[in-house]
A and B are shown apart, each in its own frame.
Chain A
Amino acid sequence: MDEPAVRGSGELQPPSTPLLDELEEGRWPSFVAELKRAARRAPAAADLLGQLERSYADNTGHWKRGGIVGVRGYGGGVVGRYSAMPDDFPAVKEFHTLRVNQPAGFFYTTEKLRQLCDVWDRYGSGLLNLHGSTGDIILLGTTTENLQPCFDALGEIGFDLGGSGSALRTISCCVGAARCEFACFDTMDVTHSLTTHFQGEIHRPSFPYKFKIKCSGCPNDCAAASARSDLAIIGLWRDGIEIDQEAVREYVRGGLNLFERVLRRCPTWALAWDENEQELRVDSEECVHCMHCINQMPKALRVGRRRGAAIMIGGKAPVVKGAMLGWVLVPFVELKPPYDELKDLVVRITDFWAEHGKSRERVAELIDRIGLPAFLDGIGLKPSPQMVAAPRSNPYLFWDDDEVVKHA
């Protein structure tokens, strides 16, 4: 690659920003300091500072709405953005974002990150989010003209675009088996495998609305999958937790108040301390795999051996019908490469939703509209009691023709 063209001498003067300057004070790392660093080299970053200062002065944003831009062969991955004040801030007249699909688990070599910086210094503002809420690397701010060459250069260093619009969005996950003993499945491998398998669905929007998938390796749900993904894959085990009794005793000797901190916080009172034997007992039938005891004593307690995941459906933010948390769709599934069962389920869900969903209707809202029984029937899943907090309390049941006696 040629020397980056936009990575200038660093001699540009950032604009005067008395309001934003106040955000360089204080102990927390300052994004304004970052904007100024970038502004010393990139005119777009300088004008972003100027426009942001204006927003701080008049309490409103100054971006236009609308504007579709992209790169060849893709229907998404780029968010078009135009300044509403192009005369005052010409360098952000076009200030588009590229959503760049992160490696699973957000692991990087410094070599890879530097290559990314080189591309972005050459073609963009030099500003980025590590990472956006969905998981992508967000490259903030480039021109329409630079989009294609930037994408081509990203491709040369092995970075592809993520999702935007009514598409499968970039999949993300917790660190999982790479660095966590709680992982009940390989979150990073599932994420990578689904991502490579569903490239078409990510890059060419063909759904009623966005569809997000996130993987968390255990019920602690560090990826916040159940709150912010339409399909949350949350690690779970079916058998009992494993106990290292000597390590339990070590925690107790070390001052852990076993009763206060662990036993009485167990949601099902599945744990008991055997005073005579000085051993912790677990009633595995009662355990609901909440992780609390394991979180408190990671050295002594481990997730069980029969590991897999629960699949939750429908998590989303408020627009349109209100926020939803994911509902249990599959109480337990083993997840082994190549994850065909999971991929097939994703296809059944998105096919059914694409057929029956209205425009801008998330899958949770479709289920809310047609009912969970109809949805289960549509994707070929059988009902199970884990799906409900409680069975229905009203008497308005639907019966199919083959469930009642036909009159002549």
Chain B
Amino acid sequence: MPRTDFGPPDYREMIPPIVRDNYGRWRYHTIPRPGVLEHVSDTGAVLTSVRMASPRLVSTDWVRAVCELADKFCDGHLRFTTRHNVEFLVSDPSRVEPLLDELEARGELVGGVGPGISNVVHTQGWIHCKSAVTDASGLVKCIMDELYDYFTGKIAVPARLRIAVACCVNMCGACHCSDIAVVGIHRTVPRVNHEMVSKSCEIPSTVASCPTGAIRPNPKLKSVEIIPEKCMYCGNCAAVCPAIDIMDPANDGLSIWVGGKVSNARTAPKFSRLAIPYLPNHPPRWPEVTEAVKHLVEVWRDRAKPGERMGEWIDRVGWERFFQLSGIPFTDKHIDDFTHATTTFRCTTQFRF
């Protein structure tokens, strides 16, 4: 029997000596230039972290190349951030400039620190997922090709702006609390392959999987049927029963959500809210989505006060003005009619025209 349950490598063996020696003793940090953090310890030690953009989906060649850099400048240590960037941890101040020069020479992007747009958190997409409406990696690439100046700090913005992409409403990356989220959606009722249901699906769990009670058994066919008026195309049934198909390339598309955050700074964490219900899914460059995201960034960038996140700005100016300023039409789709809908209706005469 092979060894099991031994767990991941111990972080204590992975951290560089400067981190080990100053663990829990960091006093403050500064951002001396975009993409660079300087942490100062109570011991006087200074650790410079240089943050580099990563495509997240990488080859082992890429990893080896990054390791070479970490060997050359960081004594063989590096880390990754929760948003998939690489961080080179430089303990010798004289190596910072040479590292930055080398990264520039290699065409790498340094940034993603402080106010600005960091890397995009995203899902797996057509690369590896069975339920993907779109390809997250491709969308991220196209969006960031437009927005990389916000990553590198070349264009200043009022605050952090966090973007996430999810290929379907499962939202594996939990992008529902992002300043801007792009989410793949279905718009049509799934089709049931009755012959296959009896062979490959458990009928009670398929019925139970539906959040709106839109699925009922069809004993005659030893299958299930979907009540179209009740279905909101979440795809949960398709996840439970492979005989149900919700993919519909002609109608599937992308939606855009705004104003979420997870940080507790100033205001409580909040969900992203629907801005654009549907845009077409147009690989390989997704011009409609890319343009819409860029537009939303600019609308916020030009109007928010310093330090104001997208959602905080919208809270201040009001959703009616958000729709007016962004030029996005407000439709019946924007009014919630799911589980917590009534909590989103306005109960005050405080509004703008």
- Using a CB–CB cutoff of 8 Å, the interface residues on chain A facing chain B are 7, 19-20, 22-23, 25-35, 37-38, 45, 48, 52, 55-56, 58-66, 72-74, 79, 81, 95, 97, 101-114, 116-117, 120-121, 126-133, 140-141, 151-152, 155, 158-160, 172, 174-175, 177-181, 183, 186, 188-189, 192, 195-196, 199-200, 203, 219-228, 234, 260-261, 265-267, 289-292, 295-296, 298-299, 302, 315-323, 325, 358-360
Residues A58 and B264 in contact, CB atoms below 8 Å apart: no
Q: Which residue of B lies closest to A29 (CB)?
A: B55
One of A31, A101, A265 near B266 (C-beta < 8 A): A265
Given A129-B56, A129-B57, the answer on whether A299 and B28 have CB atoms closer than 8 Å is yes
Residues B247 and A321 in contact, CB atoms below 8 Å apart: no
Given A110-B78, A322-B338, A360-B240, the answer on whether A65 and B130 have CB atoms closer than 8 Å is yes
Beyond contacts A101-B7, A224-B262: 19 other A-B pairs, Cβ-Cβ < 8 A, are A22-B284, A23-B138, A25-B145, A27-B145, A28-B55, A30-B141, A56-B284, A60-B252, A81-B128, A103-B8, A127-B57, A133-B174, A175-B79, A180-B26, A226-B177, A291-B265, A317-B170, A318-B171, A325-B271
Given A73-B1, A110-B76, the answer on whether A60 and B29 have CB atoms closer than 8 Å is no
One of A64, A116, A195 near B130 (C-beta < 8 A): A64
Residues B7 and A195 in contact, CB atoms below 8 Å apart: yes
> Can you list 23 A-B contacts (CB < 8 A)?
A19-B284, A23-B138, A31-B56, A31-B58, A38-B61, A59-B249, A65-B130, A66-B242, A73-B4, A81-B128, A102-B8, A104-B11, A106-B81, A112-B9, A113-B78, A117-B64, A179-B26, A181-B29, A181-B39, A192-B7, A267-B267, A320-B236, A321-B339
Bound CA–CA A34/B129 (angstroms): 18
One of B6, B39, B122 near A160 (C-beta < 8 A): B6
Residues B174 and A221 in contact, CB atoms below 8 Å apart: no
One of A62, A102, A199 near B126 (C-beta < 8 A): A62
Please tell me if B144 contacts chain A, counting CB pairs below 8 Å. Answer: yes
Please tell me if B97 contacts chain A, counting CB pairs below 8 Å. Answer: no
Please tell me if B63 contacts chain A, counting CB pairs below 8 Å. Answer: yes
> Which residues of chain A are within 8 angstroms of B43 by Cβ–Cβ distance?
none
Residues A159 and B60 in contact, CB atoms below 8 Å apart: no
> Which residues of chain B are within 8 angstroms of A20 by Cβ–Cβ distance?
284
Residues A181 and B126 in contact, CB atoms below 8 Å apart: no
Interface code B10-25, partner A: CB below 8 Å = 1, 0 otherwise?
A: 1101111001000110
Residues B23 and A323 in contact, CB atoms below 8 Å apart: no
Residues A219 and B264 in contact, CB atoms below 8 Å apart: yes
Q: Indicate the member of B24, B129, B208, B262 with the most A CB atoms within 10 Å.
A: B262
Bound CA–CA A177/B84 (angstroms): 19
Residues A133 and B172 in contact, CB atoms below 8 Å apart: yes
One of B80, B123, B177 near A130 (C-beta < 8 A): B80
Chain B residues touching A, range? 35 or more
Residues A117 and B171 in contact, CB atoms below 8 Å apart: no
Q: Which residue of A lies closest to B4 (CB)?
A: A73
Bound CA–CA A368/B352 (angstroms): 34
Among the stretches B46-54, B219-227, B293-301, B321-329, the one at the interface with A is B46-54
Given A141-B128, A158-B9, A178-B19, the answer on whether A299 and B30 have CB atoms closer than 8 Å is yes
- Min distance, Cβ A366 to any Cβ of chain B, angstroms: 14
What are the 6 tightest A-B residue pairs by CB atom distance, in nearest-first order? A228-B174, A26-B145, A219-B264, A199-B5, A28-B144, A110-B67
Q: Which residue of B lies closest to A130 (CB)?
A: B80
> Which residues of chain A are within 8 angstroms of B320 by Cβ–Cβ distance?
none
Bound CA–CA A132/B128 (angstroms): 12
Q: Which residue of A lies closest to B58 (CB)?
A: A34
> Which residues of chain B are within 8 angstroms of A25 by Cβ–Cβ distance?
145
> Which residues of chain A are within 8 angstroms of B137 by Cβ–Cβ distance?
31
Q: Indicate the member of B3, B7, B55, B56 with the most A CB atoms within 10 Å.
A: B7
Using a CB-CB cutoff of 8 Å, which residues 141-184 of chain B contact chain A? Answer: 141-142, 144-145, 148, 166, 169-174, 176-177
> Which residues of chain A are within 8 angstroms of B142 by Cβ–Cβ distance?
23, 26
- Min distance, Cβ B57 to any Cβ of chain A, angstroms: 4
Residues B176 and A101 in contact, CB atoms below 8 Å apart: no
> Which residues of chain A are within 8 angstroms of B238 by Cβ–Cβ distance?
65
Bound CA–CA A132/B125 (angstroms): 12
> Which residues of chain A are within 8 angstroms of B68 by Cβ–Cβ distance?
110
- Min distance, Cβ B274 to any Cβ of chain A, angstroms: 12
Bound CA–CA A186/B26 (angstroms): 13
Bound CA–CA A59/B134 (angstroms): 7
Residues A227 and B176 in contact, CB atoms below 8 Å apart: yes
> Which residues of chain B are within 8 angstroms of A260 by Cβ–Cβ distance?
306
- Min distance, Cβ B25 to any Cβ of chain A, angstroms: 8
Bound CA–CA A316/B63 (angstroms): 31
Q: Which residue of A lies closest to B20 (CB)?
A: A178
> Which residues of chain A are within 8 angstroms of B349 by Cβ–Cβ distance?
none
Q: Which residue of B lies closest to A178 (CB)?
A: B19
Residues B177 and A227 in contact, CB atoms below 8 Å apart: yes
Q: Which residue of B lies closest to A295 (CB)?
A: B265
- Min distance, Cβ B255 to any Cβ of chain A, angstroms: 12
